[in-house]
Structure 1
């Protein structure tokens, strides 16, 4: 009986080693939390700005937005992206050093390539939507393409990120029907879901 248990333990250890060799497992849950907090701050700034401009997005669906309004929203989105990227880099690098893993290798490259191809395509598609004044579809499209990117990248990192991707896609589809709630859907998808996912990953792998 003990010999059988030892063999099972050995097989389990071999499986873990193979999994670590093919997946980027240093992704930190705190990076998800930080990204979510950044998105919530960005959403709060956008809501404040729209209120000062007397713009009710849920009623007018972005039709009242001027070029200056669009530039401000794009700047906020860009800052949120930069903050999320910087926090992800910092916390993931710290987690990698803690576990004596390399931060950048072929696994990291594969994960990022598979993540950013759908995300980059989504960015171009959102720019096309803005060009055609279909602003009410930008938030759902961002959620959909981001969710596809997460699903694509989940093959090369923690499998838990797949569930976040599925939730983002579902939320994007729902927001495509309820177009007056795009900002709310964006806040939930990039803010709340990131915080919940990050907290779960942190308590599961890093405590």
Structure 2
């Protein structure tokens, strides 16, 4: 066997070990749908929460419940869609959807996300609404980056983008709604589309 064959075998073994220690990449379509759900939710929020076009979003107790309901709906739809599409993809590729790697991924993803969620709730209970959008973007980005080492794909770059836009959002108060729409809506669609194109090529 030639040196070239040995190098090829070593490369294949390395790739196999890498895949066995990482969760399968999420379906690109799940990212696209998550972005679409976010845009629809934002459109509904804009229609009911903005009294005049171009005004800043002002949260009060009377409209805050509607916003929470929209956020919860976007989250639930995104999670369910991601689970269904990823499960279907795993079955088509004869890959496991639930194993020790999946558990590690979820733990690393949920620790920053749940921590951020609790912190945001604490701030909201104190009627501090101003940084809600930026905090959501930042903690979500941290969760993606933290979990990226357990998944195949470049989800960490989506995480970096969410963190950066979250910090910009914090520096520009009054525009949280639009940064949230950009981060959770359009960034998801762009990233999901790139993933889907790579899936089609593969």
Q: TM-score range by the shorter chain?
A: over 0.9
Partner of 1:145: 139
Equivalent residue, structure 1, for 2:90: 96
2:174 counterpart SS class: helix
Tell me the residue number matched to 2:67. Answer: 73
1:200 is matched with 194
- 1:132-163 CA-partner distances (Å, limit 9, x unpaired): 22212000000000000001000100240110
Distance 1:58 1:183 in 2: 11
4+ aligned runs moved over 4 Å, structure 1: 55-58
**Distance in 2 (alpha carbons) for counterparts of 1:149 and 1:204:** 23
Give the unaligned 5+ runs of structure 2. Answer: none
- Segments of 5+ residues of structure 1 without an aligned counterpart are none
TM-score calculated relative to the size of structure 2: 0.94
Query: How far, CA to CA, are the matches of 1:56 and 1:173 in structure 2?
Result: 25
Maintained 8 Å contact 2:19/2:152: no
**Would you say the 8 A contact 1:57–1:180 is kept in 2?**
no
- What is the match of residue 39 of structure 1? 38
TM-score (norm 1): 0.91
1:177 maps to which residue?
171
Change (3 A) 1:179 1:43: same
Per-residue CA deviation, residues 156-206 of structure 1 (Å, 9 max, x unaligned), is 002401100000000000000111110110011111111111111122234
2:25–2:153 CA contact under 8 A, matched in 1: no
- The 2-side partners of 1:141 and 1:5 are apart by 51
Q: What are the within-5 Å matches in structure 2 for residues 11-26 of structure 1? A: 11-26=10-25
Cα 1:206–1:116 change in 2 (3 A) is farther
Higher helix residue share: 1
Aligned residue number for residue 113 of structure 1: 107
Q: What do the CA deviations read for 1:41-68 (whole angstroms, capped 9, x no partner)? A: 11111101113xx267954x62xx3322
Q: How many residue pairs end up in the alignment?
A: 201
RMSD value, Cα: 1.7
Identify which range, 73-82 or 22-31, moves more after superposition: 22-31
